[in-house]
Amino acid sequence: EDKVVQSPLSLVVHEGDTVTLNCSYEVTNFRSLLWYKQEKKAPTFLFMLTSSGIEKKSGRLSSILDKKELFSILNITATQTGDSAIYLCAGSGNTGKLIFGQGTTLQVKP
Amino acid sequence: DVKVTQSSRYLVKRTGEKVFLECVQDMDHENMFWYRQDPGLGLRLIYFSYDVKMKEKGDIPEGYSVSREKKERFSLILESASTNQTSMYLCASSPPTRNAEAFFGQGTRLTVV
């Protein structure tokens, strides 16, 4: 059975801290790993990763995939209160079906 | 802009009622999904549709059915609502490209009393 596991489930940091969110996956015929950010509404897309070792970066956020060890990390540097959200990781196989993990709830305190 | 629209933001229904949650997307996407989201459990896939009239069960299909008569519309049906189906329901769509992001609706918070 396909499975995606995120850790930690919740995290509290102070502004300026750097955080690392983890995502491990077991997805049949794996094609891509996606990260989303969810505030009080619909999840919004952050990154899609398909190749090992190639970092994707957007401002203070970056992510990388390890297809040998079946995991991905999402890094956020110099955190701000606006980074407070649930971060969701999803694995996709060749059918296009998306399997999500439990999410990591990040709280950034001023 | 891709738009995925769910018919209701909030719904309150009684135990035993038949409930319809509607989702419409305007990007001609082949794939559509229904998830429920509960604290600590993330998004769990209820049903997935990869074409009109085609569907596949997700991880938690019990107590739910779906209908996809037109490409743009994917309906989730609770045949007889129960209190343990109180949850946030999220619809999403994506193109058939193997590596493509999914776009989400705003969610429907369903309370069954």
Higher local confidence (pLDDT), B100 or B27 = B27
- Chain A hits for B100, CB-CB cut-off 8 Å, are 48, 96
pLDDT of residue A108 exceeding 80: yes
Mean pLDDT value across residues B59-87: 96
Q: What is the pLDDT of residue A95?
A: 79
Q: What is the pLDDT of residue B96?
A: 78
Q: Does A40 touch chain B (CB under 8 A)?
A: no
Looking at residue A40, what is its pLDDT? 81
User: What value does the mean pLDDT take over residues B64-89?
Assistant: 97
Question: Taking 70 as the threshold, does the pLDDT of residue B2 lie above it?
Answer: no
Check residues A97 and A102 and name the one with the higher pLDDT: A102
CB-nearest to B105 from A42, A45, A94 is A42
Give the DSSP H or E segment for B4. Answer: strand B4-6
Our CA-based measurement puts residue A103 at a distance from the nearest CA of chain B, in whole angstroms, of 5
Which tokens belong to B94? 């994506």
What pLDDT does A97 receive? 85
**pLDDT of B1 strictly over 80:** no
Give the pLDDT confidence score for residue A34 in this predicted structure. 95
Q: Which residue has the higher pLDDT, A51 or A12?
A: A12
Mean pLDDT of chain A: 94
- Mean pLDDT across B60-79: 96
d(CA A95, CA A41) in angstroms, rounded, equals: 27
Cβ-Cβ contacts under 8 Å, B98 against chain A: 31-32, 92, 94, 96
**Three-class SS state of B85:** helix
- Interchain contact, A103 vs B42, CB within 8 Å: yes
Average pLDDT, chain B: 93
Q: Please provide residue B85's backbone torsions phi and psi, each rounded to the nearest 5 degrees.
A: -100, 5
Size of interface A-B (CB pairs under 8 A): 68
- What average pLDDT score do residues A33-62 get? 93
Tell me, what's the pLDDT at B65? 97
Range A20-28 average pLDDT: 96
- Is A96 close to B94, i.e. CB distance below 8 A? yes
Q: Looking at beta carbons, which residues of chain A come within 8 Å of B46?
A: none
The residue of chain B nearest to residue A40, with distances taken between CA atoms, is B106
Q: Residues B21, B4: contact at Cβ < 8 Å?
A: no
**Short-list B10, B33, B31, CA closest to B86:** B10
Structure token digits, residue A66 = 């390890």
A51-100: per-residue pLDDT in tens? 888 899 999 999 999 999 999 999 999 999 999 999 999 999 887 888 99
* Euclidean distance between the first and the last CA atom of chain B, given in angstroms as a whole number: 37
CA A7 to chain B, closest CA, distance in angstroms equals 11
